[in-house]
Structure 1
Amino acid sequence: MAVIWEAEGEAARVLRERGAFRNCLAALAEPSDGIDAAELIYGELVANTVRHAPGDVRVRLELCDSEPPVLVVRDHGPGLRCYPWTPRREPYAESGRGLGIVEMLAREIEVDSARGGGTVIRATLPVRPREAA
């Protein structure tokens, strides 16, 4: 496994690194609509830290051989109250959909959260790495 891109710091600043994340991913992945989905996954996960776990966040893009890349987001917030995520019943609610969107777009998602101990989310992105020339 190799870390090929990383951003760390105050969550709102890391959220602004979304374009840099996309550029890095586009350089190493096969062109596809999956890059748009991966950028949305980044935005949803980091925006959740801005809203629910303000402070520092660490985001990594990991690549292992020919496997799909994995986005890892780690915060130091209060932890998730419940996972697996339960969708909200109010269809027009303005919040509460971020993790559900990530679950729909990612190939796989792993959540490790301890109450008071922060959260780590690993999302396998819906893109394929470019084949070596």
Structure 2
Amino acid sequence: MDIPLRTHVTTQDRARPLRYSRTWDTGVSSIAEARDAVAALLARARPRPGRRPLQDAQLVVSELVTNAAKHAPGPCALRLELLPDATALRISVTDTSGEPPRRRPPDPRRVGGHGLHLVGMLSRGLDVTWLTRGKRVTATVSLGPATA
């Protein structure tokens, strides 16, 4: 199910955080789609974040969604929420796996297995919330100084 990007307005006519969500019934069909959703959401931010924070957020989304697709069979979901004043982007990925995310020991000769290290470096940490069927992994990426 797709929920289009939009700004929610309160009764005081103040904008609430921009949000995006997407679910996949049978696993993720396109990691690029998740990265594109980050770009589309941040393009609507006021003030707009710079290029580096956008790339960091896209990389974090890519790694989290890839892990869900690779390690958790079945449905999964992505939720993006731009925090007030466009200071950070909260990224949540829900999947059906009961296994916690595991960082593998660093090995520069290994191809793959570095995603959670990257997420840790580019975000304010990784939170795992256990659900009835699976888990939700959340990372918050700072968008740094924003430019108009």
Structure 2 gaps of 5+ residues are 1-15
In the alignment, which of 88, 91, 103 is matched to residue 105 of structure 2? 88
- Alignment size in residue pairs: 128
Question: Is 1:70 matched with 2:87?
Answer: no
- Given that residues 38 and 57 in structure 2 are in contact (C-alpha distance below 8 angstroms), is that contact kept between their aligned partners in structure 1? no
Q: C-alpha offsets along residues 1-44 of structure 1, whole Å, 9 cap, x if unaligned?
A: 74611111133225241213322223214223110010000100
Q: Taking structure 1 as reference, are residues 104 and 70 closer, same or farther at Cα in structure 2, changes over 3 Å only? A: same
Give the equivalent residue in structure 1 for 2:68: 49
Give the residue type in structure 2 aligned to 1:6: S
DSSP-derived class of the 2:129 partner: strand
- Given that residues 32 and 127 in structure 1 are in contact (C-alpha distance below 8 angstroms), is that contact kept between their aligned partners in structure 2? no
Distance 2:82 2:106 in 1: 36
**What is the RMSD computed on CA atoms of the aligned residues?**
2.7
Give the equivalent residue in structure 2 for 1:20: 37
Distance 1:86 1:37 in 2: 19
TM-score, structure 2 length as denominator?
0.71
In the alignment, which of 27, 33, 56 is matched to residue 11 of structure 1? 27
Distance 1:90 1:26 in 2: 36
Give the equivalent residue in structure 2 for 1:34: 53
DSSP-derived class of the 1:110 partner: strand
Structure 1 gaps of 5+ residues are none
Q: Taking structure 1 as reference, are residues 3 and 118 closer, same or farther at Cα in structure 2, changes over 3 Å only? A: farther
Percent identity of equivalent pairs: 27
Give the equivalent residue in structure 2 for 1:102: 119
My pick for the range that moved more, 116-125 or 44-53, is 116-125
Give the equivalent residue in structure 1 for 2:4: none
Give the structure, 1 or 2, with the largest relative contact order (CA under 8 Å, sep 6 or more).
Answer: 1
- Given that residues 38 and 54 in structure 2 are in contact (C-alpha distance below 8 angstroms), is that contact kept between their aligned partners in structure 1? no
Q: Taking structure 1 as reference, are residues 72 and 3 closer, same or farther at Cα in structure 2, changes over 3 Å only? A: farther
